[in-house]
Amino acid sequence: MSGCGRLTFVDDLGETLRHAWACLERGVKDRRSPFHTPSVATIGLDGRPRMRTVVLRDVDPAARTLRFHTDLRGLKVAEIARDPRVALHGYDARAKLQIRVEGRAVIHADEAVADEAWAGSRSMSRACYGVFPAPGTEMEEGGAFTLPGEEAEIDAGRSNFSAALIHAERIETLYLDHAGHRRAVFDVAAGGAGRWLAP
Ligand SMILES: Cc1cc2nc3c(=O)[nH]c(=O)nc-3n(C[C@H](O)[C@H](O)[C@H](O)COP(=O)(O)O)c2cc1C
């Protein structure tokens, strides 16, 4: 099995976990993969669940981390500061695979990981971090915000930029198959031991 193709070893827990990581890794590189834009849930400041789409920027199965980028001024950063527990979700209809990741997020703003992430971002992506007023600010009209145009202005957005690293603790997979669905959960923080669950 290569990349995030069809799962062949459906009854092998180790293969199932490797396949899940491979699908997430593919999501980083392949813009058409549904795992390119997973949903990330945080616990809102009022205790309500809050979800949003993010772009998956990096996945490291060995370190069990997933990275996305975000504006330090956004609400999710305050939410993660208050409670770092997050969940990430994606469903790939072609691979017939749902992946749910639970873990803790760490926001990196000044560290090397953020510098590298900023250096690796395209100008178009960087420009978002110079939006004024700050993300989530109420405005009189929908278009009453500005984005930086000049390169120097775009670079100033670095102070609003952060790399969020999700440290995965638990991964759950649900693979749909005519012969019988397969649902598994893996305690990845504790060495990756997996168990089958009734679907
Ligand atoms: C396709 C798509 C990709 C997005 N990627 C990101 C992203 O990588 N990082 C991010 O902070 N917001 C991203 N957003 C915007 C978020 O979904 C969200 O609207 C915004 O970050 C505000 O969320 P917050 O109020 O919870 O901070 C994306 C939205 C869409 C539709």
Whole-number Å distance, alpha carbon 136 to ligand 1 midpoint, is 11
Give the domain range for residue 20: 13-197
- pTM check: above 0.75: yes
Instruction: Give the rounded distance of the alpha carbon of 25 from its chain centre.
Output: 11
Answer yes or no: is 144 within a domain. Answer: yes
Residue 1: per-residue pLDDT: 40
Note whether residue 91 is domain-resident: yes
Q: Does any domain span residue 129?
A: yes
- In this structure, what CATH number is given to the domain that contains residue 158? 2.30.110.10
Domain presence at residue 8: no
Q: What is the pLDDT of residues 137-194, one digit of tens each?
A: 999 999 999 999 888 889 999 999 999 999 999 999 999 988 889 999 999 998 888 9
Point out the ligand 1 atom lying closest to the alpha carbon of residue 55.
8
Asked whether residue 4 is domain-assigned, the answer is no
Domain count, the chain: 1
What residue owns the CA closest to ligand 1's atom 31?
53
Please tell me the distance between residue 116's alpha carbon and the centre of ligand 1 in angstroms.
20
Q: Is residue 3 part of a domain?
A: no
Q: Would you say residue 2 lies in a domain?
A: no
Mean local confidence (pLDDT), 27-54:
98
**CA 198 to centroid of ligand 1, rounded, Å:** 33
The CA–CA distances, whole Å, from 151 to 114, 124, 144, 165 equal: 19, 10, 22, 27
- What pLDDT band is residue 122 in, cutting at 50, 70 and 90? very high
Task: Over range 80-107, report the average pLDDT.
Answer: 97
Q: Name which residue sits closest to atom 3 of ligand 1, judged by CA.
A: 54
Whether residue 20 is contained in a domain is answered as yes
What residues line ligand 1, using a CB cutoff of 6 Å? 37, 50, 52-55, 68-71, 74-76, 135-136
Tokens 């995030």 appear where?
Answer: 4
